[in-house]
Chain A
């Protein structure tokens, strides 16, 4: 109990332990709340369905596993190349347009993946403009007469998902590259390291923790997807959970696949943690300088410009232009659906509320872990972050029972005291949606808060404690101001993710509630997603400001004063 002596600030002991106890209880309750839907899932899986399991194991799981593994490896590779590459280029070099690019690069984040899938299929399908031009150019009559890469395919899915999801990696990598101390790089340079060696031996290893976070966000997002995979014809595990539940009429079977999938995800995460168990980099407390960018002028600056423009064009401007054309062609502005205003407000309100709650909980959890400093607390925090690994549909299914149980209890209490029948106050209201969002995206908040806090040496806490400051005081005066950029970043990421969330929203939304993403979806299911183009643009419009702000949060001027003197702002 090393921390007991540290926290010995002269207060009587009976006042001292309840504070830790509260923090512990908070962490456990939080972990329990996130685990609740999983418990439902396990209970359902436990009901068993031996017959279907044999069938699934023989015909479904092998194929789905291979497709999923290929999809995820492809997305991992491509997002890593694009994300890390672009981040390195805009951090290490100075060239015309660099500033603009650094905030353009994260913009694809504002697009729901399946929308981009529809857009690319429209453009590159046999009937699309590209192949039509190809036919005219080479004199083919039908699409059966030549070979053309099929966009509705596994490689197509990898491409589409990567151009939408690379910003997760980009943002993480950039934040890391930017705050790396110049001294390491300079030492390496004086020792004769080339630029490539710098990237490989210094920048990348230092950035690894952040990259792991960015990559896992991108991959879990890809894993969670149903809309794009189904449309592009990729048989992923998530899709097979869905078809097992709906078509094979076996909820237990679906729950079993979900459990297996979750185990794999947890194992991978554990492996990743184990892999970097000896890597802990604390940022020095002294003022530090950041690496100066290498200026590239004239034609030399053209290459980095193009390298960074390609992903932005593919992930953002291309779909944006296509949707804008649809809005104009279809007269969606003149025939403006006034309901859209209401849906936009609903979407904003839900996303903002969920974000505020998630960030607050995430910060409190990270602070509690820092205060307690033991393994149990850390485990609780890890568990609280598991929501992101559960596909939205599964999460929604799992959440329903616990929420209804709470409602039933509330009704019983109310009626016991002679009150009215309340109905489904939680499960039947927007509270259900907010709880689902918070559960799903909490890990972004806890992760960022922890990352932000981990850069502050615990020695600072200890010094502050010996000077008589209470833990809450330290949090307020030191931790929160220093972790603010990380928290702000998390808030914006969660906000944008909430805007785009579809599967859980579809299943849990209360009566008469429509969000922008469910609005688009109803056109998409009719095979007419272009009529929802305006709503898609609205999601993007609402999402763009946060994404731009997100970049500004992570923007650090080279050689400026380090973040540890942020108190002046």
Chain B
């Protein structure tokens, strides 16, 4: 028994040494060559890693990554002056707003970015820039939905009663859509709309975007609401192809506007220790190589003009993004969340 104890103790000690030593080793490796850049990301690492690898290959700058699904602004804020974060990559305009509100950003001053990223997709003061776009669209049953065009407002029409599937109203993608509705029509009208949509749901909101397509495929509902790239991902997945095949994407519009679009974007951390490299990375992400990867590997709409949209995404039809400034949507984020609670959308 003694032996067992001694052995496990030795193991635990050496293990803790390795664990504690790991970050030190990581930073030591980066000391040589072109240096490094530390990326905190909400974008899933599997999505973003190929881009970062390509960046390293091209520039020799090592990229270190922390990915999480929430709380990174809070982490950077708490880490304060000693924070290793250089760059924060996020999805959703609301998150970009949160980063600014948390006071963890500094202006990205770049003539290159101002030229490539359209004004609608970056902060007027340059605190955030969009890198890619996605639209919130309809996955309609091929068999049971005949119409080819639809408005977001129409989703509250009683003719869809028991026919709509959607994930939680508190999910950031839906939150932004509801916020856009408030920005366009005011809170009272938006509430009426949300109640109407709620009344049309086939089931309690749950699952993710893919599950909505899956439920349409199984006939649980006629239309599901989801993001553009999910449909393309299903279409190219051997096990999920049938869900995509049972549905088609309709690009909905607001009654008086275009399709609701959200961005994935980037901010530069206030205390970025590797600012120069961070700037290189940000500009590279808005450049041709990265923009093509956003389009073809992730099935997103590139933010840079002139980059070709992937064929599957192009098959949805021509995207006509709504012109409402994204900053406006971010403003109504909290109101949208409160509205979801008020109408008991998820209950």
A contacts, CB < 8 Å to B: 55-56, 59-60, 63, 121, 125-127, 131-132, 141-145, 150, 152-153, 230-233, 235, 242-243, 245-251, 329-330, 346, 348-350, 352-353, 355-357, 393, 396-397, 400-401, 404, 407-408, 411, 421, 423-424, 427-431, 434, 484, 506-507, 509-514, 518, 521-523, 525-528, 530, 569
Contacts and interface: CB of A to CB of B under 8 A. Distances in A.
A356 B44 contact: no
B75 interface: yes
B117 to A, nearest CB: 25
Contact of A233 (B1, B9, B205, B221): B205
Given A142-B220, A243-B337, A507 B75 contact: yes
A89 B19 CA distance: 43
B120 interface: no
A153 B333 contact: no
Given A349-B19, A353-B16, A431-B20, 20 more contacts: A59-B344, A125-B214, A127-B217, A132-B218, A143-B215, A152-B204, A233-B168, A243-B170, A249-B98, A346-B22, A397-B74, A401-B78, A404-B78, A404-B80, A421-B82, A424-B79, A428-B23, A512-B23, A513-B22, A513-B66
Contact of A509 (B66, B237, B333, B342): B66
B232 to A, nearest CB: 12
* Residue among B69, B83, B204, B238 having the largest count of chain A Cβ atoms under 10 Å: B69
Contacts of A233: 168, 204-207, 346
Nearest to B227: A527
Given A127-B215, A356-B12, A527-B210, A349 B70 contact: no
B119 interface: no
Interface in B120-137: none
B79 A248 contact: no
Contact of A248 (B64, B65, B338): B338
A188 to B, nearest CB: 37
A434 B239 contact: no
Interface in B309-346: 333-334, 336-338, 341-342, 344, 346
B68 interface: yes
Interface in B57-101: 64-71, 74-75, 78-80, 82-84, 94, 98, 101
A510 B337 contact: no
B69 A121 contact: no
A484 B65 CA distance: 41
Contact of B218 (A126, A230, A350): A126
Contacts of B297: none
A77 to B, nearest CB: 22
Interface residues of B, number: 78
A528 B210 CA distance: 9
A434 B12 CA distance: 12
B341 A59 contact: yes
B160 interface: no
B243 A127 contact: yes
B172 A510 contact: no
A408 B221 CA distance: 55
A86 B177 CA distance: 49
A247 B18 contact: no
B274 interface: no
Contacts of A518: 67
Contact of B71 (A142, A235, A393, A511): A393
B84 A526 contact: no
Contacts of A60: 341
A352 B341 contact: no
Interface string B1-35: 10000001101100110111011101000000000
B147 interface: no
Q: 5 closest Cβ contacts across the A-B interface?
A: A142-B219, A233-B206, A356-B12, A126-B218, A127-B218
Contact of B75 (A132, A142, A353, A400): A400
Given A127-B214, A131-B218, A511-B84, A400 B78 contact: yes
B23 A511 contact: yes
A249 B46 CA distance: 27
A52 to B, nearest CB: 8
Interface of B: 1, 8-9, 11-12, 15-16, 18-20, 22-24, 26, 38, 44-47, 64-71, 74-75, 78-80, 82-84, 94, 98, 101, 144, 162, 168, 170, 172, 175, 202-211, 214-215, 217-221, 230, 233, 237-240, 243, 333-334, 336-338, 341-342, 344, 346-347
A249 B16 CA distance: 37
Contact of A126 (B38, B69, B144, B219): B219
Nearest to B16: A353
Given A144-B202, A353-B12, A408 B82 contact: yes
Nearest to A529: B208
Contacts of A232: 206
A249 to B, nearest CB: 5
Nearest to A56: B341
Contact of B69 (A245, A355, A521): A521
A350 B16 CA distance: 7
Contacts of A357: 12, 16
B78 A510 contact: no
A235 B206 CA distance: 10
Nearest to B206: A233
Contact of B208 (A242, A247, A350, A527): A527
Contact of A522 (B67, B71, B203): B67
Nearest to B338: A55
Nearest to A234: B206
Nearest to B342: A59
A408 B80 contact: yes
Contact of A430 (B23, B74, B210, B214): B23
A427 B243 CA distance: 44
Contact of A511 (B8, B16, B64, B204): B64
A121 B208 CA distance: 11
B334 A248 contact: yes
A243 B94 CA distance: 13
Contact of B79 (A251, A393, A428, A523): A428
A249 B334 contact: yes
Nearest to B163: A144
Nearest to B170: A243
B203 A150 contact: yes
A276 B12 CA distance: 37
A247 B206 contact: no
A514 B214 CA distance: 30
B53 to A, nearest CB: 12
A233 B346 CA distance: 8
Nearest to A339: B49
B165 to A, nearest CB: 10
A428 B84 contact: yes
A506 B15 contact: no
A145 B219 contact: yes
A247 B333 contact: yes
A427 B79 contact: yes
A352 B218 contact: no
A352 B68 contact: no
A141 B220 CA distance: 10
Given A127-B214, A353-B15, A408-B82, A511 B74 contact: no
B82 A423 contact: yes
A512 B219 contact: no
A144 B251 CA distance: 25
24 contacts: A55-B341, A59-B338, A127-B243, A144-B220, A152-B211, A233-B207, A247-B170, A247-B333, A352-B12, A353-B16, A356-B9, A357-B16, A407-B82, A423-B82, A423-B84, A424-B83, A429-B22, A430-B22, A484-B1, A507-B70, A507-B75, A510-B66, A527-B233, A528-B237
A144 to B, nearest CB: 5
A129 to B, nearest CB: 11
Contacts of B338: 55, 59, 248
B67 A247 contact: no
